């Protein structure tokens, strides 16, 4: 696997957007992998937010109480305008409100989803400063602002600059996107969004330097996207010396000559040497000499390593990514604090963006891509019909026995939904071969599932604990199953049923580790396909007897010790075999993936013990159904496939 940039690293994504106007389907990734539009409010609070530069401002605007008189809005096309707000974004797919320095007095935003709620119409709106700013005494000029931006389709953010009082706009600077060497536009931010707030610094010296009539414009193009929020706009002099550590890089070796995704929690028997690297940018006017990066690891083990940039000196407006030659192998269980920093021979004018931290932990038996959850998003059954799936890739170096999986739940989960854990090997496959939309996917081999959990109904105690650990039994559906995993790549999958979204199952995902491999955390929409997620889904693999701290342990089902369906898949007569732990009036209910009841039968009074019911499903359409046994308002669930 190729090396992965983690932590605050910016992913450079090429974008291809299909012509369909579906709210939940778009193509956004380096290999045109399908990407799903998130129906979730994202709460982002990263520790690595770049702070505003301390340089004195030639011009400042914090949009206190409304849009000032010296700004105008020009709506060039479509139903979306720049507008002032102190509440944030609306619509069915809201984005978190901007948490800028002066958010208490309001900010400006384009609310694409809220204002263009029916989709289809093109959007083009401009927020224009109609006041001249005198930069005649400044040769090196920077415009800064705080933003919150999420991408879905072809939305484009541009800052334009004029040096003749707005008669012409010679400066054009792409924000959250860029042009490649061939002049092709590509996205640099995906729908997981920027930090909140994200401080943007744009060097506009070429147009604004030594000009007395500088004006700026914030320009937005879109079509039923998320939107753009900005605040605290400043025009300042570019600092003389200003290195920025914009990315921390962590990779785990794969035991040969390749690399694995980095995981937030790694079992001690699966840990391997760690490679560290940095992404560094010189925002200052002066060349920085003897540029040196340092990695300092504290906690369960100690490691310190410094590395001098291969070219030694870094010119203004230049950047690099390089890896330290020395690697580190953690030797103890516990938390590791990885502190990255960068410096040069010059005294940095803004040292607050010269460092960042990444945390991870070595455990006895837990394997999970997440850890700190400093920045949390969600995925849920609200995307689609029942049968929605989410999966994390686990790359094992040595054989071990998988005994359970932990699911981290967002508080928006409603008790009553139910889930099943499955495990399958990863399969690489070329999609749409020979076409412009060709890409390589990496998804579970669901025709050869290696192991299953029983279906489990989410309780209020699980929701309150924000997690549940679900065991993988040694016997499933009346047959033994081998829980041992050989070295290799496996997907831990959670299949979710929400009773037609009456009881949504909302899985937390950790934006602290956003830049996993494209197919390392994925989502499946019934009737469609697997989509990339990009962030670390809250699904952990547990080896041995370990249970996730704080999770609610689940015990044998209160009404039945087993519930088996055979044949399954079926095309007609099906037998339900169940061993009841209690006596009472039994009801059997079958629902389709939309949660609609397609069969129900009051079976009457049943005593504790083994029973069997035969049902003819030949009149049902092909597809996936859920089955439920109910006694005394308690239930046990299963899955039925009609072929």
Lowest mean pLDDT among 362-366, 396-400, 416-420, 515-519: 515-519
Q: What is the mean pLDDT of residues 430-436?
A: 80
| Residues 395 and 505 occupy one common structural domain | yes
Burial class (CB in 10 A: 0-12, 13-18, 19+), 30: middle
| Residues 581 and 486 occupy one common structural domain | no
Lowest mean pLDDT among 148-162, 323-337, 510-524: 510-524
| Residues 134 and 280 occupy one common structural domain | no
Q: What are the pLDDT digits (tens) for 514-534?
A: 556 778 888 888 877 888 776
How confident is the model at residue 478, as a pLDDT?
Answer: 74
pLDDT at 627 over 90: no
| Residues 61 and 164 occupy one common structural domain | yes
Tell me which of 499, 533, 553 is where a domain ends: 553
Q: What are the pLDDT digits (tens) for 444-475?
A: 998 899 999 988 888 888 898 888 989 998 88
How confident is the model at residue 383, as a pLDDT?
Answer: 54
How confident is the model at residue 582, as a pLDDT?
Answer: 86
pLDDT at 237 over 70: yes
35 lies in some domain: no
Tell me which of 313, 339, 363 is where a domain ends: 363
How confident is the model at residue 378, as a pLDDT?
Answer: 62
User: What's the CA gap between 31 and 125, in Å, rounded?
Assistant: 31
Tally of CA atoms within 13 A in the half-sphere of 228 that contains its CB = 27
pLDDT range class, residue 375, cuts 50, 70, 90: low
The number of folded domains in the chain is 4
Q: Which residue has the higher pLDDT, 512 or 555?
A: 512
**What tokens appear for 284 in the block?**
């200052």
Q: Which residue has the higher pLDDT, 236 or 514?
A: 236
5 lies in some domain: no
How confident is the model at residue 14, as a pLDDT?
Answer: 24
| Residues 534 and 634 occupy one common structural domain | no
H-helix or E-strand spanning residue 112: helix 112-115
Q: What is the mean pLDDT of residues 501-513?
A: 80
pLDDT at 396 over 90: yes
Tell me which of 237, 268, 296 is where a domain ends: 237
Q: Which residue has the higher pLDDT, 68 or 559?
A: 68
Q: Which residue has the higher pLDDT, 438 or 598?
A: 598
Query: Average pLDDT over the chain, rounded to whole?
Result: 82
Domain region containing 511: 376-553
pLDDT at 594 over 70: no
H-helix or E-strand spanning residue 497: strand 488-497
How confident is the model at residue 549, as a pLDDT?
Answer: 41
Instruction: Fill in the DSSP letter of residue 473.
Output: -
| Residues 215 and 75 occupy one common structural domain | yes
Highest mean pLDDT among 178-182, 251-255, 329-333: 329-333
DSSP of 205-263, one letter per residue?
A: HHHHTT-S-BEEEEEEEESS--EEEEEEEEEEEPPSS-EEEEEEEEEEE-SSSSEE---
How confident is the model at residue 352, as a pLDDT?
Answer: 86
For position 590, which CATH number holds?
2.60.40.10
For residue 41, give the nearest of 100, 108, 93 by alpha carbon.
93
Tally of CA atoms within 13 A in the half-sphere of 100 that contains its CB = 30
């Amino acid at each position: 696997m190729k090396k992965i940039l983690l932590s605050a690293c910016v992913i450079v994504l090429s974008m291809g957007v299909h012509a369909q106007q579906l709210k939940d389907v778009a193509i956004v990734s380096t290999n045109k992998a399908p990407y799903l539009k998130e129906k979730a409010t994202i709460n982002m609070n990263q520790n690595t937010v770049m702070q505003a530069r301390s340089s004195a401002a030639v011009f400042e605007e914090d949009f206190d109480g409304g849009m000032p008189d010296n700004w105008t809005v020009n709506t060039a096309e479509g139903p979306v305008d720049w507008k002032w707000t102190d509440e944030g974004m609306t619509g069915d797919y809201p984005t978190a409100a901007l948490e800028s320095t002066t958010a208490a007095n309001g900010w400006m935003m384009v609310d694409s989803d809220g204002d263009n709620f029916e989709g289809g119409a093109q959007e083009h709106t401009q927020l224009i400063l109609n006041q001249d700013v005198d930069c005649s005494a400044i040769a090196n000029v920077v415009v800064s602002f705080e933003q919150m931006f999420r991408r879905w389709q072809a939305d484009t953010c541009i800052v334009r600059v004029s040096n003749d009082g707005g008669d012409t706009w010679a400066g054009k600077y792409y924000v959250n996107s860029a042009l490649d060497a061939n002049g092709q536009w590509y996205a640099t931010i995906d729908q997981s969004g920027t930090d909140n707030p994200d401080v943007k610094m744009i060097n506009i010296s070429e147009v604004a330097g030594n000009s007395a009539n500088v004006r700026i414009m914030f320009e937005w193009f879109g079509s039923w996207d998320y939107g753009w929020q900005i605040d605290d706009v400043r025009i300042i002099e570019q600092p003389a010396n200003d290195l920025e550590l914009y990315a921390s890089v962590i990779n785990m070796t794969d035991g040969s000559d390749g690399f694995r995704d980095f995981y937030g929690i790694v079992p001690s028997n699966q840990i391997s040497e760690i490679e560290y690297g940095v992404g560094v940018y010189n925002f200052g006017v002066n060349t920085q000499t003897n540029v040196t990066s340092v990695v300092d690891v504290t906690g369960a083990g100690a490691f310190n390593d410094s590395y001098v940039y291969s070219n030694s000196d870094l010119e203004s407006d230049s950047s690099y990514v390089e890896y330290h030659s020395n690697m580190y192998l953690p030797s103890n269980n516990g938390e590791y604090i990885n502190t990255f920093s960068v410096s040069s021979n010059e005294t940095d004018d803004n040292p607050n963006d010269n460092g960042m931290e990444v945390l991870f932990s070595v455990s006895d038996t837990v394997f999970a891509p997440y850890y700190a959850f400093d920045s949390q998003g969600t995925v849920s059954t609200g995307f689609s019909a029942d049968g929605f799936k989410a999966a994390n890739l686990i790359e094992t170096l040595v054989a071990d026995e998988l005994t359970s999986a932990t699911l981290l739940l967002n508080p928006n989960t409603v008790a009553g939904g139910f889930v099943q854990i499955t495990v399958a090997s990863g399969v690489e496959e070329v999609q749409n071969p020979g076409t412009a939309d060709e890409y390589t996917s990496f998804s579970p081999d669901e025709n050869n599932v290696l192991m299953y959990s029983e279906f489990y109904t989410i309780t209020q105690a699980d929701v309150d604990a924000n997690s549940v650990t679900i065991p993988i039994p040694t016997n499933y559906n009346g047959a033994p199953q081998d829980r041992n995993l050989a070295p290799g790549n496996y997907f831990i999958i959670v299949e979710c049923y929400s009773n037609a979204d009456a009881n949504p199952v909302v899985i937390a995902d950790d934006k602290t580790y956003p830049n996993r491999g494209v197919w390392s955390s994925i989502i499946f929409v019934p009737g469609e396909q697997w989509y990339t997620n990009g962030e670390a889904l809250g699904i952990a693999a547990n080896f041995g007897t370990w249970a996730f701290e704080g999770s609610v342990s689940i015990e044998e089902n209160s009404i039945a010790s087993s519930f088996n369906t055979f044949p399954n898949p079926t095309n007609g007569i099906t037998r339900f075999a169940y061993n009841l732990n209690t006596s009472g009036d039994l009801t059997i209910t079958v629902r389709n993936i939309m949660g609609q009841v397609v069969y129900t039968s009051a079976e009457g009074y049943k005593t504790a013990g083994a029973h069997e019911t035969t049902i003819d499903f030949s009149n049902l359409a092909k597809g996936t159904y859920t089955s439920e046994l109910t006694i005394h308002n308690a239930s046990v669930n299963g899955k039925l496939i009609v072929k």
